[in-house]
Amino acid sequence: MAKYLLLKHYRGAPAAENDVPMDRWTPEELTAHVQYMEDFAKRIEATGEYVDSQALSPEGAFVRSGGEGKPPVTDGPFAETKDLIAGWMIIDVESYDRALELAAELSEAPGAGGRPIREWLELRPFLTAGHPATE
């Protein structure tokens, strides 16, 4: 089994097929979208493939060490960055093809007009952390 991260972007991914921002959706469209996401997570828990999912606020800042004895230095918000992550789902699957299949299914979530958003999801394999049993 191999773990993959499915990354949703606020910004930075190529434009979705149904590219209407969420704040322009009707309440029913929003409900249908949330329902789809919940059902999807439940479905892949039932297949034993679900690991985790989280959503991220679009607010945030860059932060770095200010040097010894000095407070951390912050920068932001991210108005000028081209990449802004909206959230993720982690899956544990038998193959890369299965990961593609699930990502496509997630990307099919309904948006404006009840039509599938078909947004681009970034698919990233995890590096395993375990110690190998062989060379």
Partner 1 sequence: MNESLVRELVPAVIGVLVRRGADFAAAEDAVQEALIRALGAWPDDPPRDPKGWLVAVAWHKFLDAARTESSRRGRELAVDVEPPPGPAPATDDSLWLYFLCAHPSLSPGSAVALTLRAVGGLTTRQIAAAHLVPEATMAQRISRAKRRLAGLPLDRPGDLGTVLRVLYLVFNEGYSGDVDLAAEAVRLTRQLAAATDDPEVAGLLALMLLHHARRASRTGPGGRLVPLAEQDRSRWDTGLIAEGVAVLQAALARDRLGEYQAQAAIAALHADAPSTGETDWVQIVEWYDELLGLADSPVVRLNRAVAVGEADGPQAGLAELSKLDPDLPRYLAVHAYLLERAGDLDRAAELYAEASRRAGSVPERDHLTRAAARVRVLIGEL
Q: Is 94 in the site for partner 1 (CB under 8 A)?
A: yes
- Roughly how many angstroms between the first and final C-alpha of the chain, as a whole number? 20
CA angle 94, 97, 98 (to 5 degrees): 50
Report the distance separating Cα 117 and Cα 25, nearest Å: 12
- Contact between 131 and partner 1 per CB under 8 A: yes
The answer to the question of residue 4 lying near partner 1 (CB under 8 A) is no
Position 68, amino acid: E
Q: Which is nearer to partner 1, 93 or 103 (CB)?
A: 93
By CB under 8 A, what part of segment 34-73 binds partner 1?
Answer: 45-52
Contact between 130 and partner 1 per CB under 8 A:
yes
Which segment (8-16, 25-33, 77-85, 122-130) binds partner 1 by CB under 8 A?
A: 122-130
Among 54, 57, 65, 128, binds partner 1 (CB under 8 A): 128
Please select the residue that binds partner 1; options are 10, 88, 92, 123, rule is CB under 8 A.
92
User: What is the C-alpha to C-alpha distance for residues 74 and 70, in angstroms, rounded to an integer?
Assistant: 12
The sheet carrying 122-125 orders its strands as 50-55, 84-93, 2-11, 122-125
